[in-house]
Amino acid sequence: MNEDHIPSGHAYPMLGYLPYRCDGPGLLADSPLQNCQYDGPGRALQHIYEGKLADPGLLDRSSLHWFDQEPFYGENNEVTGLDKWALIYVPKVCYTETCDLVVSFHGCGFVFPGMYSWLVAGLDFNEWAWTSTNGWWQAWTSTPGMYSWMVVIYPRLEAHGTSSQFQQGCWNVYGQTGLDYADKGAAQMPAIKKMVDDIPSLKIWDSNLKRPS
């Protein structure tokens, strides 16, 4: 999927409820969430689901939970770089029904206090995950579509390692650890694969957006 008509900066283009406009001047151009009158996360999901998803619902903050990433550190977390805690969105229906899984990777710079939580709460992957859980109400009031329940997991990096990208909490997409950075044997992707496989047994901190100490 390639969209080249949205004048956003290096950001997630979003719908119109954000104060940071799409083509904002100066530092506003660097905001990671920008008001572009364009639902970037939604368009990505519709692309994946071949345009068959129904309209998004409302964010249920009680479905956002911190979980412990320490079991996924691997042999050397200075290379893997996972923070202790990350967030997962689990619609209530997913405790009893089979749900799809979406993994959302943050960009660089989300190691600064509050930035990661702000991003997770601001992206509307969660609203799209909640779409189908509104059941009969959605069926009668929304555009007809496929109701696909989703768990959304937001893996989180900390400042780690020695490279400037790692210190900013960037994922290893620049080959900082060598030519095998994109292979299955590199540190980060096996950690995420294990995280995905272990979804039912994650150590959940049941306190929504209040980060555990």
d(CA 102, CA 59): 16
Q: Which of 152, 124, 103 is nearest to 36 (CA)?
A: 124
pLDDT tens for residues 82-92? 999 999 999 98
Q: Is residue 210 assigned to a domain?
A: no
Q: Where does 49-187 have alpha helices with state H?
A: 77-80, 115-122, 125-130, 135-141, 164-167
* 198 plus 107 within the same structural domain: yes
pTM: 0.86
Q: Same domain for 79 and 55?
A: yes
Are residues 100 and 193 both part of a single domain? yes
Q: Does 9 have pLDDT greater than 50?
A: yes
- pLDDT of the residue at 68: 95
Distance CA 212, CA 154 (A): 16
Do 68 and 170 fall within a single domain?
yes
Q: How far apart are CA 170 and CA 148, in angstroms?
A: 30
pLDDT at 212: 58
Determine how β-strand 100-103 pairs with β-strand 204-205. Answer: unpaired
In a domain, 212, yes or no: no
Domain match, 120 and 198 both? yes
User: What are the phi and psi torsion angles at 53 (to 5°)?
Assistant: -75, 145
Residues 93 and 191 in one domain: yes
Q: Which tens digits make up the pLDDT trace of 146-180? A: 667 899 999 999 999 888 888 889 998 878 778 88
Residue 82 token pair? 């996972």
- Nearest CA-CA partner of 31 in 23, 40, 39: 23
For the chain, counts of helices (H) and of strands (E) = 7, 7
Query: Domain residues for 8?
Result: 1-38
Q: Is residue 20 part of a domain?
A: yes
